[in-house]
Amino acid sequence: MIMFTSHQDVSSSNDKASLETTFHSWKARYGELAAALIGGGLTAIGWLLEQRLYSVAVSFFILSYAVGGYAKAKEGLNTLVHERDLDVNLLMFAAAIGAAAIGYWTEGAILIFIFSLSGALETLTIERSSRDISALMDMKPEKAIRCLEGAQETVPIQELRIDDIIIIKNGERIPADGIVMEGTSSVNQASITGESIPVDKAAGDPVFAGTLNGEGALYVKVTASSESTLFAKIIRLVQDAQSEMPKAERFMQRFERIYARAVIGITSSLIVLPPWLLGWSWTDALYKAMVFLVVASPCALVASIMPVMLSAISNGARKGLLFKGGAHLESISSVKAIALDKTGTLTIGKPAVTDIIAFAPLNKDELLKIAASIETMSTHPLARAIVDEAESKGIRLERCLDFQAMTGRGVQGNVLEQTWTIGKPSLFEKEARQQGIFEEIEKLQQGNTVVVIGQAGTVIGAIALQDRIRPEAAPMVEKLKTLGVSVVMLTGDQKLTADLIASQAGIGRIYAELLPEEKLRIVKQLKNDYGSVAMIGDGVNDAPALATATVGIAMGGAGSDAALETADLVLMNDDLLKISFAIELGRRMKKVIKQNIIFAAVVILFLIASNFISGIPLPLGVLGHEGSTILVILNGLRLLR
Ligand code: ADP
Ligand code: MG
C-alpha cells in the first residue's frame, strides 16, 4: 500500500492517495479488459461500415488495432528489443497486419480483439490470485515483543518506536533494524546479504529487519521502524509467480520462442516459394501464408498453463493455503509419503503442565519460577506452557541472561546468577541414575512429555506436560491413506509419548527422540525410498527437514518464523485436512494442464493440415485459433472453484 505522510494536511493527502491507489488497482485489474472491449466495439463499427463507407471503416479498424493491440504489441516488441527473440504476441500482430495488407481488415481486427481479450482474462487471473494471496496476510499480523520495565508486551510491529527495547527469541525474524544491547546469538542475514552462513552478534552489533535469529535470544534497541513483514516479503515473492514456475511452464516458454521462429520462417517461405516454383499469384500465396500464420500461432498452447496455475493458487489461498509458487502445486500432486512432526503439528501445540517434581533444595514454586524465567525467551510450545503455568500461579519471573537454545534438546540460561539447563530427560540420564531418581522420572513419562531441570551436574526437578492431539489429525491420516500417501511421524519427544499420539492419529511408522539433523536424515532416506516426500512441521527444529523435503509445509499459526521461511507451502489456518485438499488441487491442476495442451495441439495440427490440404478461409482460421485459446483459458479458470 502507498502511504503519504505529509505533515500539514495528512487527511486530504490520504484521501488523494487512496483515490490514486484505487485508480491504479482499477487500471491494473480492468485496464486491459477495457482496451480489449473498446477495440472490439471499434471493430464492430468498422464491420458495419465496410460495405458502404470503406475508407471510414478502415480508419475505425486502424483505431481498433491501436487500442486493442497496444498492450500485446508492447509485450512483443519488448521481447524483440530486449531479448532479441520472437514471441506469440509479435506473431499475432504480424498476422493481423498481414491480413490487413491483403484487405482482410475485419479478420485482422477480430484477431486482435480476441487475442487482447484472452490477454485481459489472463491479467484478471493474475490480479485475482494476488488479491487472494494478500488477503492471507490479515490472518497473521506480525508481532514483536517489547520489553517495558521487565515485563514483556506483544505489539504489532508497526507500533514499534525508535529506542524501544525488543526481545528476539530463537528462530524468530528480527522485526526492525536495531543494536544489540544484551545477549549473544548468530543471525542468518541471507535475506539481505545472500550469504547464509550465520553472523555472530553480541552487545553493540547492529541487526537488520528481516534477518533470522539463530539459537540465542537478543535484547535489541530499535533504531529504525520497519514496515517490512515476513508475509509482505513472501507475498511479493508469490505474486512474482515467475520465480517458482512449474516445469511445464518453463518448457513452454522456451518452446514458444523456438516455435515462433519456425512459424515466421515457414510463413516467409510460403509467401515466396509457391509463386516462384508453382506459379501461384502473390495474393493467393499471401492469403494462404496468413492463414498459416494465424492457425500455427501457439496462443492456445501458451495459455494452457499460467491461467490454470494462477487459478489453483487463488483457490488454495482462499482456503488458507499459501503456495510459494506454482511449482510446489505440481510437486505436491505426486507426493508418495508425508512426514509429520508431532509437537505443534499433530498436536495442538498448547501443552499444559500436569505435574511438577522438585528435589531439594528448591520447592515446586521456586522450581517453576526458575524454569519459566528461562522459558520466556524460548519459542517452543513446551516453553509457552511452562510460562503460562507460572503466570497463572502469579509467580513473578526473573530476568534471564545468556539464553541459548539447544534446538531439539532443550534450553539454557542464567537466572539469579546461576546457569540452568532445561531439556529432554536423556540429557540428564547419568545424573538421574546417580541420584537414584531415574525410575521416578521414567514413571512420569507414561503419556506425558517430561522436561528435566538441572544445574551443574545435578537434577533439581522435572515438569510433566500434556498436549492434545488435533481433532483433525486422525481424519487427515485416513484421507491421506486413501490418496495413496504413506504417513510417517517424526518427533524429538520421548518414545512413550510419541507412541501414544501416533496410535491416536492412526500412524504406524514412528521415529522418536530425533535431533533436527536426524529429522533431515530421515526425510532424505524417505526421498530415496519414495521419490517424492512432503514434510509438515512447525518448529525451528523442523526447518532443515522442511528445506530438504520435496515439498516443505509449515503450520502458519503455530509455526516459527524459521519454518515459515523455509516452507514451500504455509497452512495459514493450521487445518491439517487442507493437506489432502492441496494434493487433490495439485492433481487437478496437472490434469487440466494436460487436457489444455493436448486440445490446443490437436486444434493447431488440424487447422495447419486442413490449410495445406484443402485451404481454409481466413475467418475460419481466426475462429478456430482464437476459439481454442479462449476455451483453454476458460477451462483453466475452472480451478478457481
Ligand atoms: P518435536 O519434534 O516433537 O516438535 P522438539 O524437537 O521441538 O519436538 O523437542 C524435542 C524435545 O526437546 C522436547 O520433547 C523437550 O524434551 C526438549 N525441548 C526442546 N525445546 C525445549 C524447551 N524450550 N524447553 C524444554 N525442553 C525443550
Ligand atoms: Mg514441533
Is residue 535 situated within a structural domain? no
Distance 535 CA to ligand 1 centre (A): 18
Cα separation, 358 vs 364, whole angstroms: 5
Q: What angle do CA 541, 561, 338 make, to 5 degrees?
A: 55
Most confident of 82-86, 236-240, 397-401, 595-599: 595-599
Is residue 484 situated within a structural domain? no
Range in 224-228, 258-262, 332-336, 399-403 the model is least confident about = 224-228
Say yes or no: CB of residue 422 within 6 Å of ligand 1: yes
Is residue 536 situated within a structural domain? no
Give the residue, 244 or 145, on which the prediction is more confident.
145
Same domain as 255, residue 185: no
Range of the domain at 392: 349-469
Is residue 516 situated within a structural domain? no
Is residue 313 situated within a structural domain? no
Distance 465 CA to ligand 1 centre (A): 11
Cα separation, 218 vs 186, whole angstroms: 10
Same domain as 300, residue 438: no
- When divided into structural domains, the chain yields a total of 3
Same domain as 465, residue 355: yes
Ligand 1 atom at minimum distance from 538 CA: 4
Give pLDDT tens digits for 40-75: 999 999 999 988 888 899 999 999 999 988 888 888
Ligand 1 atom at minimum distance from 491 CA: 2
Reference 428, options 452, 407, 461, 404; nearest CA is 452
Average pLDDT over residues 237-259: 74
Distance 480 CA to ligand 2 centre (A): 20
Amino acid 1: pLDDT: 27
Give pLDDT tens digits for 393-444: 999 999 898 999 998 899 999 999 999 999 999 999 999 999 999 999 999 9
Range in 109-113, 136-140, 170-174, 212-216 the model is least confident about = 136-140
Q: Which of 451, 489, 560 to mutate to test the pocket of ligand 1 (most atoms within 8 A of CB)?
A: 451
Percentage of the chain exceeding pLDDT 70: 93
Say yes or no: CB of residue 343 within 6 Å of ligand 1: yes
Average pLDDT over residues 211-233: 79
pTM for the predicted model, two decimal places: 0.81
Amino acid 583: pLDDT: 96
Same domain as 365, residue 415: yes
pLDDT for 524 beyond 50: yes
165: number of Cβ within 10 Å: 15
573: confidence class by pLDDT, cuts 50, 70, 90: confident
Say yes or no: CB of residue 378 within 6 Å of ligand 1: yes
Interacting residues of 167 by C-beta distance below 8 A, sequence separation 6+: 145, 146, 147, 152, 217, 218, 219, 220, 377
474: number of Cβ within 10 Å: 16
SS3 assignment, position 411: strand
Tell me which residue has its CA closest to atom 22 in ligand 1: 410
User: Cα 624 vs. chain centroid, distance in angstroms?
Assistant: 37
Average pLDDT over residues 508-513: 93
Ligand 1 atom at minimum distance from 519 CA: 2
pLDDT for 534 beyond 90: yes
Same domain as 450, residue 402: yes
CB-based contact 499:489 (threshold 8 Å): no
Amino acid 229: pLDDT: 60
Same domain as 126, residue 142: no
Cα separation, 489 vs 603, whole angstroms: 48
Amino acid 5: pLDDT: 32
CB-based contact 529:381 (threshold 8 Å): no
Say yes or no: CB of residue 411 within 6 Å of ligand 1: yes
CATH code of 160's domain: 2.70.150.10
Amino acid 335: pLDDT: 96
Distance 537 CA to ligand 2 centre (A): 6
**Pick from 469, 504, 533: which residue ends a domain?**
469
User: Looking at the CA of 344, which ligand is closest?
Assistant: 2
Give the residue, 228 or 134, on which the prediction is more confident.
134
561: number of Cβ within 10 Å: 21
Distance 380 CA to ligand 1 centre (A): 7
Tell me which residue has its CA closest to atom 4 in ligand 1: 343
pLDDT for 89 beyond 50: yes
Say yes or no: CB of residue 341 within 6 Å of ligand 1: yes
Say yes or no: CB of residue 537 within 6 Å of ligand 1: no
Distance 626 CA to ligand 1 centre (A): 59
Same domain as 113, residue 34: yes
10: confidence class by pLDDT, cuts 50, 70, 90: very low
Cα separation, 214 vs 212, whole angstroms: 7
CATH code of 414's domain: 3.40.1110.10
Average pLDDT over residues 593-612: 94
Interacting residues of 277 by C-beta distance below 8 A, sequence separation 6+: none
Same domain as 143, residue 126: no
Is residue 116 situated within a structural domain? yes
C-alpha neighbours within 13 Å on the C-beta side of residue 420: 26
Catalytic site positions: 341
Distance 235 CA to ligand 2 centre (A): 24
Ligand 1 atom at minimum distance from 345 CA: 4
25: number of Cβ within 10 Å: 12
Is residue 626 situated within a structural domain? yes
Reference 33, options 169, 127, 163; nearest CA is 127
Interacting residues of 580 by C-beta distance below 8 A, sequence separation 6+: 476, 479, 480, 483
User: Looking at the CA of 491, which ligand is closest?
Assistant: 1
Percentage of the chain exceeding pLDDT 90: 46
**DSSP conformation class of 345:** I
Say yes or no: CB of residue 491 within 6 Å of ligand 1: yes
Strand ranges in 183-263 using DSSP code E only, listed in sequence order: 185-188, 199-201, 206-207, 212-213, 218-224
Q: Is the peptide bond before 361 cis (omega within 30 degrees of 0)?
A: yes
pLDDT for 256 beyond 90: no
Same domain as 127, residue 61: yes
Say yes or no: CB of residue 539 within 6 Å of ligand 1: yes
Same domain as 181, residue 156: yes
Which backbone phi and psi does 454 adopt, to 5 degrees? -140, 165
Same domain as 360, residue 458: yes
Give the residue, 640 or 14, on which the prediction is more confident.
640
Is residue 540 situated within a structural domain? no
Amino acid 17: pLDDT: 61
Say yes or no: CB of residue 384 within 6 Å of ligand 1: no
Average pLDDT over residues 373-385: 91
C-alpha neighbours within 13 Å on the C-beta side of residue 489: 30
Say yes or no: CB of residue 449 within 6 Å of ligand 1: yes
pLDDT for 301 beyond 80: yes
DSSP string computed for 162-188: TT-EEEE-TTPBP-SEEEEEE--EEEE
**Pick from 469, 494, 513: which residue ends a domain?**
469
Tell me which residue has its CA closest to atom 20 in ligand 1: 410
Amino acid 233: pLDDT: 65
Alpha carbon distances (Å) from 367 to 58, 323, 417, 456, 463: 90, 44, 15, 15, 9
**Pick from 434, 469, 504: which residue ends a domain?**
469
Same domain as 280, residue 382: no
631: confidence class by pLDDT, cuts 50, 70, 90: very high
Cα separation, 541 vs 516, whole angstroms: 5
Tell me which residue has its CA closest to atom 27 in ligand 1: 410
